[in-house]
């Protein structure tokens, strides 16, 4: 059974940090391209950052210099270190795995940035 379980969300003040984790199981993790997406209330889900199965990394402009994506194939995990958080970063953050014709999503973890 495929599972992607996000954790690490919460309430943080502007300028603070959070580290999101995504634990994967039920598929060959090392083959998959992994990414973090987010969806704010009333908005479409958007890509935040991605890391390919060979370690290539992409960040969207609004998180460059603040967020860092990483993966640990030995632990079947992908991570998102988020620094200097802003209120606009408030959203549900989702982990996604994709390879070939298969795509899997986690259930999401809420990140709220507020004074």
What distance lies between CA 33 and its chain's CA centroid? 12
Give residue-wise pLDDT tens across range 10-68: 999 999 999 999 999 999 999 999 999 999 999 999 999 999 999 999 999 999 999 99
Q: How far is CA 103 from CA 6, 15, 72, 95, 96, in A?
A: 16, 33, 19, 11, 7
Mean pLDDT value of segment 103-111: 98
At 81 the pLDDT is: 98
From 10, 92, 85, 93, select the one nearest 49 (Cα to Cα): 93
Residue with tokens 């991570």: 79
Confidence band for 71, pLDDT divided at 50, 70 and 90: very high
Tokens of 65: 């210099």
Mean of pLDDT values over 85-107: 97
């Amino acid at each position: 059974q495929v599972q992607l379980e996000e954790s690490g969300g919460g309430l943080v003040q502007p300028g603070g940090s959070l580290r999101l984790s995504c634990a994967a199981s039920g598929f060959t993790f090392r083959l998959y391209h992994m990414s973090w997406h987010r969806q704010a209330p009333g908005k479409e889900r958007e890509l935040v950052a991605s890391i390919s199965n060979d370690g290539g990394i992409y960040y969207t402009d609004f998180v460059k210099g603040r967020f860092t994506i990483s993966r640990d194939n030995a632990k079947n995990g992908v991570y998102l270190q988020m620094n200097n958080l802003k209120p606009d970063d408030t959203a549900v953050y989702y982990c996604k795995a994709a390879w070939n014709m298969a795509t899997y999503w986690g259930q999401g973890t809420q990140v709220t940035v507020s004074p």
